[in-house]
Amino acid sequence: MANAEIQAQPYGDPIAPGRKAAGRALIWGATLLLALVVLLQALDSAGSGPLHFENWRPSLYAYVLWAIALGAAQVMIRGEAGQRALFVLPAALYTVAVVIFPTFFGLYIAFTDWNLSSFEGRRFNGIDNLIELFHDSFYWKALGNMVFYVAMVLVEYAIAFSLALLLNAEVRARKFWRVAFLIPFMLSPVAVSWMVGKSLMEVRFGPLAGLAKHLGWSQPNFFGSGWAASFSIEALDAWVSIPFIMILLLAGLQALPKEVQEAARVDGATPWQSFWKITFPLMLPVSATAVVLRIIFKLKLADIVINMTYGGPGGATDTVSSYIFRQYRDRSNVGYGTMLAMFYLVLIIIFVTLLLNFVSKHMKKVT
Site for other proteins in 148-167 (CB under 8 A): 162-163, 166
- Determine the Cα–Cα distance for residues 63 and 34; give it in Å rounded to an integer: 6
C-alpha–C-alpha distance, residues 305 and 145, integer Å: 12
Answer yes or no whether residue 321 interacts with other proteins by CB under 8 A.
Answer: yes
Taking CB under 8 A as the criterion, the residue among 88, 147, 215, 266 binding other proteins is 88
Chain residues 14-53 in contact with other proteins, contact rule CB under 8 A: none
- Select 157 or 325, whichever has its Cβ closest to other proteins: 325
Interaction between residue 345 and other proteins (CB under 8 A): yes
Using CA atoms, how far apart are residues 319 and 321, in angstroms rounded to an integer? 5
Binding mask 197-216 for other proteins (x = CB under 8 A): -xxx---xxxx--x------
Alpha helices in the chain (DSSP H): 2-8, 17-46, 57-78, 80-95, 101-109, 128-134, 137-151, 153-168, 174-186, 189-192, 207-214, 226-254, 258-266, 271-274, 280-298, 303-308, 320-331, 334-366
Which residues in 89-108 contact other proteins (CB under 8 A)?
90-92, 94-95, 98-99, 102-103, 105-106
Nearer to other proteins, 177 or 231 (CB): 177
With respect to other proteins, which residue has the nearer C-beta, 33 or 166?
166
Question: Does 129 participate in binding other proteins (rule CB under 8 A)?
Answer: no
Question: Min. distance of Cβ 333 from other proteins in angstroms?
Answer: 9
Please state, in angstroms and rounded to a whole number, the distance separating the CA atoms of residues 248 and 230: 26
Choice between 193 and 274, CB closer to other proteins: 193
CB of 4 to other proteins, least distance (A): 20
Question: Judged by CB, which is closer to other proteins: 64, or 131?
Answer: 64
Q: Which is nearer to other proteins, 66 or 244 (by Cβ)? A: 244
Which residues within the stretch 267-286 sit at the binding site for other proteins (CB under 8 A)?
Answer: 285-286
Minimum distance from residue 1 beta carbon to other proteins (Å): 25
Three-state DSSP class for residue 265: helix
- CB-based burial of residue 56 (10 Å sphere; 0-12 exposed, 13-18 middle, 19+ buried)? middle
Backbone angles phi, psi at 229, to 5 degrees: -65, -45
User: 34 and 63 in contact (C-beta within 8 Å)?
Assistant: yes
